[in-house]
Amino acid sequence: MSAPRMLPRLDSVNRSFWTGGADNELRLHYCEDCQNFTHPPRPVCRHCLSENVGPKAVAGTGVVDTFTVNYQKWHPKAEVPYVIARIAIDGAPGVYLTSNVVGCEVDAVDIGDKVQVTFEQQDDVFLPLFEKVS
Ligand SMILES: [Zn+2]
C-alpha cells in the first residue's frame, strides 16, 4: 500500500471514476454525441459541449507515455523510490492518467511499457494505479 494521500471529494460527476475500482472497472466520462472521452470527468463534453456525457468502462490497459522516479520522502509513511507516470489509456484517445506504476522495481519501467490498471482502496476511493503487463 502506498502512503495515505489527499483523497478527492466525491460528487455526482466524479464518483464513477473514483469508485469504479469496486467493480474492477476503469470508468471514464464519455460523450454519446461525439464519441469522445473527457477527463477529468465533468458534466459537459470538452469537445462538443454536449451534456450527454456519462461514465463508460474502458479496458484498463495503457502505455507509459512518460515517467519520472521520485526519491524524495514527501510523507513519513511514503515508501521511496516510486514511479510517477503519465499513462496513455487504450481505447480513449487523448486521455492520459497521471498515476504510479507499482509492482516492479523503478528501474524496470520505461516509456512504451504496456500497463494494466490495478486499484488501491483508501476510504471510499479506489485509486487507479498501474502494473506492467508481463
Ligand atoms: Zn461531445
| Contact present, 117 and 129 (Cβ < 8 Å) | yes
Instruction: Confirm whether 121 is domain-assigned.
Output: yes
| Contact present, 101 and 119 (Cβ < 8 Å) | no
The rounded Å distance from CA 42 to ligand 1 centre is: 12
- Give the CA radius of gyration of the chain: 15
The rounded Å distance from CA 88 to ligand 1 centre is: 20
**Cell representation of residue 37:** 472521452
CA distances, 89 to each of 55, 70, 77, 131 (Å):
15, 22, 29, 13
The predicted pLDDT at position 132 comes to 98
The predicted pLDDT at position 134 comes to 77
Instruction: Confirm whether 2 is domain-assigned.
Output: no
Identify the DSSP state of 81: S
Instruction: Confirm whether 6 is domain-assigned.
Output: no
Band (pLDDT 50/70/90 cuts) for residue 1 is: low
pLDDT tens-digit series, residues 3-54: 678 899 999 999 999 999 999 999 999 999 999 999 999 999 999 999 999 9
The rounded Å distance from CA 18 to ligand 1 centre is: 22
Mean pLDDT of the chain: 95
Whether residue 113 has pLDDT greater than 90 = yes
Instruction: Confirm whether 20 is domain-assigned.
Output: yes
**Cell representation of residue 7:** 483523497
Cα first-last separation, the chain:
21
The predicted pLDDT at position 6 comes to 87
Q: What pTM does this model have?
A: 0.93
**Cell representation of residue 52:** 450527454
Instruction: Confirm whether 3 is domain-assigned.
Output: no
The rounded Å distance from CA 95 to ligand 1 centre is: 14
Report the domain count for the chain.
1
59 lies in which domain range? 15-132
Instruction: Confirm whether 8 is domain-assigned.
Output: no
Instruction: Confirm whether 5 is domain-assigned.
Output: no
Which neighbouring-strand residues pair with 117?
130
Instruction: Confirm whether 37 is domain-assigned.
Output: yes
